[in-house]
Amino acid sequence: MLTRFAPAPTGFLHLGHVVNALHVWGAAREQGGSVLLRIEDHDRQRSRPEYDAAILEDLAWLGFAHHGPVVRQREREAIYQEALRPLIDRGLVYGCRCTRSDLQGERYPNTCRERCLPLADGAGWRVRFEPGVERFVDTIKGPQEQDPSEQCGDLLVRDRLGNWTYQFVAAVDDHLQGITDVIRGEDLLASTGRQLRLAWLIGRRTPPRFWHHPLVMKSPTQKLSKSDGDTGIRELRASGMSSAAVLDMARKVGNLLT
Ligand code: GLU
| CATH label of the domain that carries residue 47 | 3.40.50.620
pTM: 0.94
What pLDDT, in 10s, does the model give residues 183-241?
A: 999 999 999 999 999 999 999 999 999 999 998 866 666 666 555 546 799 999 999 99
Residue 21 lies in a domain: yes
Q: Judging by DSSP bridges, how do beta strands 2-5 and 34-39 pair with one another?
A: parallel
* Protein residue closest via CA to atom 5 of ligand 1: 6
Residue 188 in contact with ligand 1 by CB distance below 6 A: yes
Residue 256 in contact with ligand 1 by CB distance below 6 A: no
pLDDT recorded at residue 226: 52
Residue 131 lies in a domain: no
Mutate to test the pocket of ligand 1, among 12, 51, 184 (most ligand atoms within 8 A of CB): 184
Residue 231 lies in a domain: yes
Q: Residues of the chain whose pLDDT is less than 70? A: 217-230, 258
Residue 29 lies in a domain: yes
Total count of domains within the chain: 1
Q: How far apart are CA 256 and CA 258, in angstroms?
A: 6
Do 58 and 233 touch, CB atoms closer than 8 A? yes
Q: How far apart are CA 134 and CA 123, in angstroms?
A: 28
Residue 181 lies in a domain: no
Residue-range definition of the domain harbouring residue 40 = 1-75+216-258
Residue 3 lies in a domain: yes
pLDDT recorded at residue 223: 65
Among the atoms of ligand 1, which is closest to the Cα of residue 17?
4
pLDDT recorded at residue 128: 98
Residue 40 in contact with ligand 1 by CB distance below 6 A: yes
Residue 239 lies in a domain: yes
**Residue 139, class by beta-carbon neighbours within 10 Å (0-12 exposed, 13-18 middle, 19+ buried)?**
middle
Residue 208 lies in a domain: no
CA 42 to centroid of ligand 1, rounded, Å: 11
